[in-house]
Chain A
């Protein structure tokens, strides 16, 4: 059976991993290559790098990070953050990324997703959705940009369907209500999106416990789960997360 994927996410600022990764026995807590290697050894199914570098002049640094990681870690790599042009995508794929994640650029220019999928294939185009519950009812969510600050008026379910029609091969879904709260995924949102689209959905935002990861799959129907802080701070290893999920009847790669 296909295994549910567990994906650690690393924020990279100007070539350095930020938001404090705390591993025991790690020489350099900010070195993306060392951290990637560590997650690979623990059994991560994929890695996602989010480039949070503010200045576009420093984006070249991320290309070098991807090159170095891809030369040592042989699992799928996704790069998000600042992907706005066909040239941005080509540079990341040539550096060794397997997929790129498009967020804000998709909202402002949906045709960009279509063009990217035509050019490089849907398998490497992930569309990231940042969604927030609206005041219009419990099962209505709206797409936001700029880290959840700017509403777009787009309905999250309709937007997800549209992005798949335009060629998205996967959806990375983040609940902006839950992100950073450690109170668990927005399961209703995750399930609504996962059941609305034929492509895999990665649940993100709000993981604080291993039970949350399992719930994302059993209740939220996510095909993969992404988390940052619970892994970075050494609260749980990837292996512990997988063993827990297996104990809940979820197929994982152990």
Chain B
């Protein structure tokens, strides 16, 4: 039986992500944990998160998870979600300037108000709701998911990877930003696959089937 660990570091409700993973693949053993040994024993790891990046980094440090995440990315598939994606970059504009994990070179920036769409309507912050995800390149996690499928977003900050090649998808609000990052064992999404109905469940199932070394 394949196993997946969902990292629980006190940043938000992990109930949904655990249930969605179980729903996407009933053959998979889903463990919600903050224990480094349990995380390292899993074949795959999901790194979720909502809230602010300062709290997120503090919680990771408190639990000794910073080196664990670096080791996970070297050795097995890792799926970052929302704040779990942003934390992978070098730093974030949120909470002053917060140093992050530095696993993906680049920065996290805030949507700068006021934003407006091409028709002149005011765009609200947070970017909240279903938006189209434009796949930048083929990837096993996009299997069976039509290009421009809509996923559910809720965020005020977005990742800007330095390397164009790390971007796996973009979404426009109103300018394009990185909706997904892919690099080696790592796949990370700004949207919430656990709240994105069929397309989201398919992405989670694809992650549970993904073997990066194949």
A110 at the interface (CB under 8 A from B): no
Against B, the Cβ 8 Å flags (1 = close, 0 = not) of A187-221 are: 00000000100111100000000000000000001
- Whether B122 lies near A3 (C-beta < 8 A) is no
Output the least CB separation between B212 and chain A (Å): 25
- Whether A96 lies near B130 (C-beta < 8 A) is no
- Whether A98 lies near B126 (C-beta < 8 A) is no
Question: Which of these, B19, B117, B126, B131, contacts A122 with CB under 8 Å?
Answer: B126
A window 88-115: CB within 8 A of B = 93-98
> How many chain B residues have a CB neighbour from A under 8 Å?
37
Mostly helix, strand, loop or mixed at chain A's interface?
Answer: loop
Against A, the Cβ 8 Å flags (1 = close, 0 = not) of B147-165 are: 0001010110000000000
Count A-B pairs with CB separation below 8 Å. Answer: 93
Chain B residue nearest in CB terms to A201: B124
- Whether A40 lies near B152 (C-beta < 8 A) is no
- Whether B23 lies near A224 (C-beta < 8 A) is no
A window 70-99: CB within 8 A of B = 70-72, 74-76, 93-98
Output the least CB separation between B200 and chain A (Å): 6
Besides the known contacts A72-B23, A169-B126, 12 further A-B residue pairs in the complex with CB atoms under 8 A apart? A3-B131, A45-B129, A70-B15, A93-B13, A96-B13, A98-B16, A120-B12, A122-B126, A199-B124, A200-B126, A221-B121, A253-B130
What are 18 sample pairs from A and B whose C-beta atoms fall under 8 A apart? A2-B123, A5-B129, A5-B130, A71-B23, A72-B23, A76-B154, A93-B13, A94-B15, A96-B19, A120-B12, A120-B51, A122-B126, A123-B155, A124-B50, A195-B122, A198-B114, A200-B129, A221-B122
